Homo-oligomer: A and B are copies of this chain.
Amino acid sequence: MKRTAFFISDGTGITAEALGNSLLAQFGSIQFNKITLPYIDTIEKAVEAVDTIDQAGKEDGYRPIVFDTVVDEAIREVISTSSAYKIDVFSAFLKPLELELGSHSSYSVGKSHSINEVNTYMDRIESVNFAIANDDGGKTQHYDKADIILTGVSRCGKTPTCLYMALQFGIRAANYPLTDDDLNRTHLPDALEAYRDKLFGLTIDPFQLASIRHERRANSRYASLDQCEDEVQSVERMFRQQQLPFINTTHFSIEEIATRIIAQKGLQRRIK
């Protein structure tokens, strides 16, 4: 059975997607064709969206599921004329929240992922710049300004995790790759020793590491299972010997790695 799911918003669609994906993920046996329709902010666009939805329903032979986070009631009414099964976030929760807060909602569009404050924007930009400037051990002289320093073998997920932390949470994350040379020593690299409290290790299943490295340099020694097994074994030994906190990234998404590290280290987010 194939069902089409629409995430409809008058803004970016990010909230509708997050909510919809959360709910749909609970139905693993059904294959969903997911379509995001962002910036549905006029009656005309809503009418077009209804056409698109109804067309998909005809093709599937099942009515589509619509996750709707449109704020404007007139636009939402148009969307509700479609044949879809509709999950309407603002209808469900906004009125009761108004009562609870004793305040009227502003019904202003696209607030949640809009630019709130210039400071937040600056924090994101600065954190992204920091992550790029301090990626891959290239520079180590700014570690005093880092909130966290991720370390581990090449391709274990350090860079995307740092960038995600920067973009999503405004956290300044550096990363330092541990090479064969580093792993053959019994002490931490000098650049890291002074910042022990900021260190967090990443490790990964050697098979997955080999497969990721293979994408980059097929059939190289670097990507061989032997090499990956050696490195992972050494790095985990180092983490234990040096009593560094670490996480195995194999079964985690970048979001999970980032949020688990933040929770475990109690890092302060600059963006909430």
Interface on A for B, CB 8 Å cutoff? Answer: 3, 11-15, 18-19, 21-23, 25-30, 34, 36, 38-39, 65, 69, 71, 85, 87, 89-90, 92-94, 96-97, 100-101, 103, 105-108, 110-116, 118, 121-122, 124-126, 128-129, 132, 135, 155, 157, 159-160, 163-164, 167, 208, 211-212, 215, 251-256, 259-260, 263, 272
Picked from B14, B23, B28, B116, the residue with its CB within 8 Å of the CB of A93 is: B23
Instruction: Flag if A38 contacts B263 (CB, 8 Å).
Output: yes
- Quickly give the copy total for this chain: 2
Picked from B65, B101, B157, B255, the residue with its CB within 8 Å of the CB of A30 is: B101
With A65-B100, A92-B92 in contact, is A26–B251 under 8 Å at CB?
Answer: no
Chain B nearest CB from A152 CB (Å) reads: 14
Give Cα distance in the complex from A130 to B269, angstroms: 27
Give Cα distance in the complex from A43 to B128, angstroms: 37
Q: List 8 A-B contacts (CB under 8 A).
A: A14-B259, A15-B19, A23-B94, A38-B260, A39-B263, A125-B212, A126-B215, A129-B159
